Chain A
Amino acid sequence: MAEVRFGKAVNMALDDALAADPTVILFGEDVAEAGGPFGVTRGLLEKYGDRRVRDTPISEAAIVGAAVGAAMSGLKPIVEIMFMDFVAIAMDAMVNQAAKARFMFGGQCSVPMVLRTPHGGGVNAGPQHSQCLEAWFAHIPGLKVVVPSNPSDANRLLRAAIADPDPIVFVENKAMYSLKGEFDESSEPIEIGKAYVARAGNDVTIVSYGAAVNTALQAADKLASRNISVEVVDLRSIQPWDEEAVLASLSRTHRLVVLHEAVTAFGVGAEIVARMSDIGFDELDAPIKRVGAPFMPTPFAKSLESQYLPNAEDVIAAVEQVLA
């Protein structure tokens, strides 16, 4: 098993998909010649040519809209939006077109496309280049949202996403691109909608996704030295999300903390808490805690941003509260 960086793992999945299926095409701003603003698409233009790997102008509405149209016409487009913040410009294509085409056209077509985009802060990129907006998409019936937490998952989930017949938002945390992790090239794609117990424990369950899973694991490590046994559930995909796995874990630990980098209010965590307080009501031995960003835009200054982003200490504090 080799160590692979997150960005490279994504690159390998794209590479495999382009090699395996001639209907897969890739386009976005600076993804071809330049190999992507984060170097994720490096080498693909050279390998697959400019018919299938294309640079686009700065036209997010058209990029995503075109992906929808291409998907309705026999291709499997993979498009990149350089920062998740910019999806705001392409929302119509995702929300009113991609998400609804199959349904409102009576099931005549699917929209097999993947929109890849990086979210997340930690690099002082300021209010318009740091947001975690996945909840927007998770709220839209017809879209699926996948958020990997490590290089291996990024590869295996992306392969599943490309193979999936429906529109998928595939979210990569930009601070993780250079993160290294074990990756077995022969591993299978991961089924979308299934969570993974990243660490088993008895006292508290932390449910998370994306880079925040690593924060949860750090917190779990620190808590283990205090004899607090934390189970970490990595959702891997937030729409659909694995209610059963979360309920199963809650039924073991009876205490739940939900963690994500995104703003807490009206976030993915709110949905998880709502469901668990319903179907998991009788399992709860403490109120469920959410840990996430406060209700404010991501600030630029280092000191502000580090206070803004949820960290292991915040998670530990929440765990202490549910154990009180």
Chain B
Amino acid sequence: MSPAKSDNSVPKSRLLEFYEQMLLVREAENRLSKLFADGEVPGFIHLSVGQEAVCVGVTSALKREDTLASNHRGHGHALSKGVELNSFFLEIMGKEEGICGGRGGSMHVADMSVGMLGANGIVGAGIPLAVGSALAHQVRENGAIAAAFFGDGALAEGVLHESFNLAALWKLPILFVCENNGWSEFSPTDRQFGANVRELAGVFGIPSDYVDGDDVLDVHDAASDLVTAIRAGEGPRVLECVTHRVRGHFEGDSQKYRAEDEMNSLSNHDPIAKLESVISKRRIPKKEVAAIREKIDAKINAAVEAGRAGNAPDFDRAQADVYTAVRGV
């Protein structure tokens, strides 16, 4: 386990905040994993266990009015951008009271009120949406920026290249966040993409940074710097976060295609464990950390109960939402 860097500069409250947020994502997903195995979550879900430092590190550099477009592995993006936990569980459990009325599920969690433009079932599809959102911020001069979260697998989609070009040409206020977890489904990144994202950004003249995506403090620092430049009107930035996917591509994937060594080494990269070691070095009382754990547990228990208590969605209401209701004159 490599020691985390910026330990002393960060106030204690910030550390605990990061800790709480990462823990929330982690425990929520651990619980989803169980619910899925028990058949309480239909469909299929992609967990971001091991990647919590990326969403928390980046979104902590964003403001509420900033917007974010996500991908299929989007639980962390949603929760750290501020999607309310109960309606998040209700959605994934397919209930009427879910944030999307139970119509989208895990791959489509969205909450416009917190700038969460949606998880996405189509690889790469969120990237141009974030570009468009940035365009809106630019045109409206509202000072907000957009962030696009995508995996290394999306680098192969043409739309990413088109999006880089457009954002650079128009100097759009957007942060492209590549969560490079080394895998695209069952294929390693090196068999998927012949370049790397920073080189690619360079071709379009987009400045970029590269961080250890398992270190929330690093991610936060790097993201903050880039966001400052973006807000200053300097155009798009790319942040590559190298991280690790702990679970299978989706729940139920036994990951036989991954080497034993790799699987065994995953615990060395755990971003939560890394932050815990920083916290313990700062002599923050164990009690405080335990209190956070208890608080998260309670929240998640409550959310699961809320999810279970939710109602099956109403079909007619769902159908009525295919188009916007236009009121007569």
Q: Pick from B141-149, B171-179, B183-191 the stretch touching chain A.
A: B183-191
Q: What is the CB-to-nearest-CB distance from B130 to chain A, in angstroms, rounded to a whole number?
A: 17
Answer yes or no: B291 CB below 8 A from chain A CBs: no
Answer yes or no: B123 CB below 8 A from chain A CBs: yes
Answer yes or no: B312 CB below 8 A from chain A CBs: yes
Q: What is the CB-to-nearest-CB distance from B319 to chain A, in angstroms, rounded to a whole number?
A: 5
Taking CB atoms and an 8 Å cut-off, the chain B residues in 174-222 that contact chain A are 184-187, 191-193
A301 to B157, Cβ gap below 8 A? no
Q: What is the CB-to-nearest-CB distance from A57 to chain B, in angstroms, rounded to a whole number?
A: 3
A299-B102 contact, Cβ under 8 Å, with A33-B186, A125-B44: yes
Taking CB atoms and an 8 Å cut-off, the chain A residues in 264-283 that contact chain B are none
B313 to A57, Cβ gap below 8 A? no
Chain B residues, Cβ within 8 Å of A34: 185-187, 257
Q: What is the CB-to-nearest-CB distance from A121 to chain B, in angstroms, rounded to a whole number?
A: 10
Q: What is the CB-to-nearest-CB distance from A262 to chain B, in angstroms, rounded to a whole number?
A: 16
- Could you tell me the distance between the alpha carbons of A250 and B289 in the complex, rounded to whole angstroms? 74
Answer yes or no: B108 CB below 8 A from chain A CBs: yes
A301 to B187, Cβ gap below 8 A? no
B154 to A58, Cβ gap below 8 A? yes
Answer yes or no: A196 CB below 8 A from chain B CBs: no
Taking CB atoms and an 8 Å cut-off, the chain B residues in 312-326 that contact chain A are 312-313, 315, 318-319, 322
- Interface size class of chain B, counting residues whose CB lies under 8 Å from the partner chain: 35 or more
- Could you tell me the distance between the alpha carbons of A251 and B319 in the complex, rounded to whole angstroms? 37
B122 to A62, Cβ gap below 8 A? no
Interchain CB contact (< 8 A) of A300 among B108, B185, B186, B319: B108
Answer yes or no: A127 CB below 8 A from chain B CBs: yes
Taking each of A37, A58, A86, A302, which has the highest tally of chain B beta carbons within 10 Å of its own beta carbon?
A58
A127 to B121, Cβ gap below 8 A? yes
Answer yes or no: B252 CB below 8 A from chain A CBs: no
- Could you tell me the distance between the alpha carbons of A89 and B128 in the complex, rounded to whole angstroms? 13
A301 to B95, Cβ gap below 8 A? yes
Q: What is the CB-to-nearest-CB distance from A56 to chain B, in angstroms, rounded to a whole number?
A: 8
Return the CB mask of B295-329 against A: 1 if under 8 Å, else 0: 00000000000000000110100110010000000
- Interface of B (DSSP majority class): loop
B156 to A57, Cβ gap below 8 A? yes
- Interface of A (DSSP majority class): loop
B44 to A300, Cβ gap below 8 A? no
B184 to A299, Cβ gap below 8 A? no
Q: What is the CB-to-nearest-CB distance from B179 to chain A, in angstroms, rounded to a whole number?
A: 14
Taking CB atoms and an 8 Å cut-off, the chain A residues in 62-88 that contact chain B are 62, 85-86, 88
Q: What is the CB-to-nearest-CB distance from A217 to chain B, in angstroms, rounded to a whole number?
A: 26
Minimal Cβ-Cβ distance residue in B for A123: B43
B158 to A300, Cβ gap below 8 A? no
A58 to B184, Cβ gap below 8 A? yes
Minimal Cβ-Cβ distance residue in B for A82: B185
B185 to A37, Cβ gap below 8 A? yes
Q: What is the CB-to-nearest-CB distance from A259 to chain B, in angstroms, rounded to a whole number?
A: 20
Interchain CB contact (< 8 A) of B312 among A58, A85, A297, A301: A301
Chain A residues, Cβ within 8 Å of B42: 124, 300-302
A304-B157 contact, Cβ under 8 Å, with A55-B187, A124-B94, A126-B43: no
CB-CB nearest 4 A-B residue pairs = A57-B156, A128-B121, A301-B94, A300-B105
Taking Cβ atoms with an 8 Å cutoff, the residues of A that contact B are 29-30, 33-34, 37, 55, 57-62, 85-86, 88-89, 123-129, 294-297, 299-304, 307-308
